[in-house]
Structure 1
Amino acid sequence: MKRQDYDLAKILKYENVAWFSDGIVRILDRRYYPAEERYVDCKTHLEVAAAIRDMVTQSAGPYTAAGMGMTLAAFNNRELKGDELMAVLEDAGEALSTARPTTTSRMRVVTKGCLEAAKNADKDGREPYQAIFDRTIDSLNRRYKVMQIVGDNLASLFKEDSVIMTQCYGETVVGTMLRAANRMGIKPKFVVPETRPFLQGAKLTASVIHEMGFELKLISDNMAAWAISHYGVNLFTSAADTITTDGYVVNKVGTLQIAILAKHFGVPYYVTGIPDDVAINDVDIEFRNPNEITSFMGLRTTLEGVEGIYPAFDITPPELVTGYVTDRGILMLDELKEYKKEKTEFY
């Protein structure tokens, strides 16, 4: 099996997303990267769930972490057999799937796949934990391969003089669109908002873009209008935690305001991802601890008593979206409902 993380930045290498070995799931702590290369070692699936909840990993990282967490749960209970083991794994799957509410439906696809792998492990003589691990690696490889198609489709919109604004950290599609651009021999420029409060844009997106050989300008989140109007931005793109069949984009909070700005300045907005078979009314927006707003990297930035509010995601309506970049091409709104008629195996 050829690994699909070739020629990608360090943070996108499989072992640096989440990796099970010798009874531990090791996750690169993205809250500190790249200033520090710090890993969180999880010895139980509950510790993996906590790492997901605490944003040690985010974007698509939790899907891999969930698979590795299921591997760990099976390993830690390897003396159990049959229904007893499956009961433990079902509980583990629920804990991992619900670590962050907005992505629960996608995470359940991951953990249910792990349950099926465990059930069928004895057919080829593997231990259940090994079967889940193998399934997780297969899923990683499949997802990277599918996202390369998405990255290729997005890069088809780029020109040598393109100036592209990103939002937050789109995980695999950031690397695959850059890999596609390198293959095409073009070098567009990027404008990267920092993404408060954890600075995923500054720490992760900017690191990947720089490491893969492209020019970028990092801006604070409140500079987006200036950058679009003065720096020649001619394309805005983001990934999505959810693209609903009715065309709404659920993504890191701040996506909506940039989409509004893009519309105002006549800049097209292309969202990347795999549409979900879900309506917008079924999406649960996560509200995180307000302390993540009133402090930064452990330092309180407000007076005691000042209250914060932190919706982790916002919702961008379809009228602000130019096109939906998927593994089946760049789709328009009226094509999204047709997408699910031919299912993509992604997780």
Structure 2
Amino acid sequence: MDYKSDKFFEQVLTVSMEKDRQSINIIDQTLLPGTIRRINLSTKEEIWEAIKKLRVRGAPAIGVCAAYGIALLASRIQKEDFSSFYQEFGELKNYLASSRPTAVNLFWVLNRMDSAVKKNEEKSVNEIKEILFKEAADIREEDVQISRKIGEYGFGLLKERKKEGKEIGILTHCNAGTLATAKYGTATAPMYMALEHGWAGEELHVYCDETRPLLQGARLTAFELHHAGIKVTLQCDNMASILMKSGKIDIIFVGCDRVAANGDAANKIGTSGVAILAKHYGISFYVCAPSSTIDMETPAGDKIPIEQRDGDEITKMWYKERMAPEGVDVFNPAFDVTDHSLITGIITEKGICHAPYDKAFKELGIGR
């Protein structure tokens, strides 16, 4: 693969609707980087399981998958009157919404699809089904454009730091790359935009936290950036401090799954630790957040629900033999919340926001 080849984005395409509209096609991210396998999801159980088990992951990609999923499932509802159709649609919507509690895009997309149904109540059920397919396709295309815009704003920050003959050191955590979105990613979008603006991959040096316990940085971010031709170094999460102290990091880009109205941001577990270290070492820490992840109904981060995951992800998932005693208690939250005071700026597709974040969001028309 090569970023300048169309095959790069073809191979890492996260979610698409099959031409016959009978299934959704995804890249199974649980198998990366060792195996690149695309699978089809055709039942509600398969779609729910793919989101829950992180076969498709990343807030925007989850949203696109949910949009295609609800459109596909709604197309099979065998009801011709609106009331009966809408009742069954609501049941399907609630079922998919139960797969991941933290990613606000999931609920945002499902509510948008719900609104598309209600706004067209006077039309036939068959017409509504077609409208849902179109709405899902629009959501995917909008996500591509959102990532590009976030990338352009982030690229502007990279240009400010560019010095002749010196690579720019970038740290990122988890995977907020093209594998987490429809295309380009959020936290990786500035790097892809740099390539599109003619920068060489060697001008950037991205350091990926491995991101325990599911290793999305090691398996996914390192995988896609390496194949895009960008210089990548992988390190364990607890090596971030010595790396920052060495002076090799110029800027940090991370993604997020939900941003509260005050700017607190929920992202993959370990992100808040990176932010605390960045504050100590005086390194700019940016959260890359599509406006759809900004939840103005949630006043602060302590109100964001944090998903607790199976302890096997820590004790045995990555090992030939169990690495912890049988019966030991395991604490395995999927996310933590980075306090807004630790965030230099939040990059949205509408612009870069700075504290006070609630005011900045409103000035950009977010959450109105």
Q: How high is the TM-score relative to the length of structure 2?
A: 0.83
- Partner deviation per Cα, 1:130-189 (whole Å, 9 max, x = no partner): 322221111111122122111111111114431000011113214532231113333321
Q: Tell me which amino acid in the other structure corresponds to 2:157.
A: L
2:336 is aligned to 314
What is the match of residue 330 of structure 1? 352
Q: Where does residue 293 of structure 1 map in the other structure?
A: 314
Return 36-45 or 260-269, whichever deviates more.
36-45
Q: Does 1:205 align with 2:221?
A: yes
Pairwise CA distance, 1:69: 1.4
**Counterparts of residues 162-177 of structure 1 (less than 5 Å):** 162-170=168-176, 171=180, 172-177=185-190
Question: Matched residue pairs, number?
Answer: 337
The alpha-carbon deviation at position 201 of structure 1 amounts to 0.9
Rounded to whole Å, the distance in 1 between the matches of 2:85 and 2:124 is: 18
Q: Which letter does structure 2 place at the counterpart of 1:83?
A: S
Distance in structure 1 (CA, Å) of the matches to 2:360 and 2:246: 39
- 2:285 is aligned with 1:269: yes
Q: CA RMSD in A?
A: 2.5
Pairing 1:176-255 to 2, within 5 Å after superposition: 176-186=189-199, 187-230=203-246, 232-255=248-271
Amino acid in structure 2 at the alignment position of 1:247? G
Query: Once the two structures are superposed, what CA deviation does each residue of 1:230-259 show, in whole Å capped at 9, x if it has no partner?
Result: 361111110111121212111100001111
The percentage of aligned residue pairs carrying the same residue is 26
Q: Distance in 2 between matches of 1:167 and 1:286?
A: 18
Cα separation, partners in 2 of 1:256 and 1:127, compared to 1, 3 Å:
same
Identify if the C-alpha distance between structure 1 residues 8 and 339 changes in structure 2 by more than 3 Å, giving closer, same or farther: farther
Aligned partners of 1:102 and 1:283 also within 8 Å: yes
Equivalent-residue separation in structure 1 for 2:357 and 2:331 (angstroms):
36
Q: Which amino acid aligns with 1:218?
A: L
* Gap runs ≥5 in structure 2: 1-5
Tell me, which stretches of 5 or more residues in structure 1 are unaligned? 1-5
The answer to whether the Cα contact below 8 Å between 1:192 and 1:202 also exists between their aligned partners in 2 is yes
Shift in Å, 1:10: 4.2
Q: After superposing the two structures, state which structure 1 stretch, 135-144 or 22-31, moved more.
A: 22-31
1:29, 1:56 within 8 Å by CA — same for their partners in 2?
yes
> 2:273 and 2:142 mapped to 1: Cα distance?
33
CA distance in 1, matches of 2:127, 2:361: 36
Contact 2:261 2:295 in 1 (8 A): yes
Describe the superposition over 1:300-323 as per-residue Cα deviations: whole angstroms up to 9, x where unpaired: 322322221111000111221111
Task: Work out the CA distance in 2 between the residues paired with 1:111 and 1:331.
Answer: 26
TM superposition shift of 1:53: 1.0
Q: Which residue of 2 aligns with 1:3?
A: none
Q: How is 1:131-142 mapped onto 2 (pairs within 5 angstroms)?
A: 131-142=131-142
Q: CA deviation at 1:270?
A: 0.9
1:101 and 2:73 aligned: no
Distance in structure 1 (CA, Å) of the matches to 2:113 and 2:341: 38
